[in-house]
Amino acid sequence: MTMIRTTGVRRGMLLAATLGVLAAGCGTQRPGDTADAYRRSHPTPTGISTPSTPVDLPCPGESPTPTPPRSADTSGSAAPGDRYAENHGFRVPFPLHGQRRCDGLAAVGRIEAALEPLRKRGDFAPEHTRDVLTGLGYPAGKVRSYENGPTGVSFLIEVDASPLCVEGRMDRDSTRADPFGGYPDHSGCDTPSGGH
């Protein structure tokens, strides 16, 4: 009796069939096709909520109309149609909501009030600004201040590790600060230098 060995041929056919199936599906789907098709065939049932922008109630001492959130730095924005905003999304800070927002606004109020005497004296030395901010109880390793033009100083404070951050500028006209919640793909409060 003669046996014909077909194991090698079967393996080859199985490999060819697998590659054929994989190759047939490559490159035929466009971004968004699956999600759009799924949404059309599976609409959101009535009564089920979908995610939305959080509604912030006024914090203590704040007017009923909340201030608009910080906007991304769009300096040097590229021509329309390219992916500048998408490629620089890692530099857009997280807004604060709820109690964290109120905590941030309270920190801003304390910081601006503490820096006002320096501003009125025209003292824009980064070391004096840093001394005032550390005097408020912020750890020295979490406070940065640096010269910003001939009559100005900028500062960045990591208020807590969540993170709750406050960034601002003081010049002869005013002291301004904004709270935010850090950055995507980055820990800490400093502006990231590169994305993921």
Q: How far apart are CA 146 and CA 117, in angstroms?
A: 18
Q: How many domains does the chain have?
A: 1
Establish if 127 belongs to a structural domain.
Answer: yes
Establish if 164 belongs to a structural domain.
Answer: yes
163: preceding bond cis by omega (within 30 degrees):
yes
User: Which element (helix H / strand E) includes 36?
Assistant: helix 33-41
More confident residue, 159 or 37: 159
Establish if 138 belongs to a structural domain.
Answer: yes
More confident residue, 158 or 22: 158
- The pTM (predicted TM-score) of the whole model is 0.63
Q: Which domain holds residue 125?
A: 91-180
Establish if 57 belongs to a structural domain.
Answer: no
pLDDT tens digit sequence for 76-124: 444 555 677 777 778 889 999 999 999 999 999 999 999 999 999 999 9
Tokens at 108, concatenated = 């801003």
Establish if 37 belongs to a structural domain.
Answer: no
Establish if 26 belongs to a structural domain.
Answer: no
Within the chain, strands assigned E span 143-147, 152-160, 164-171, 175-180
pLDDT tens digit sequence for 44-75: 555 555 556 677 778 887 776 655 544 444 44
Establish if 8 belongs to a structural domain.
Answer: no
Establish if 134 belongs to a structural domain.
Answer: yes
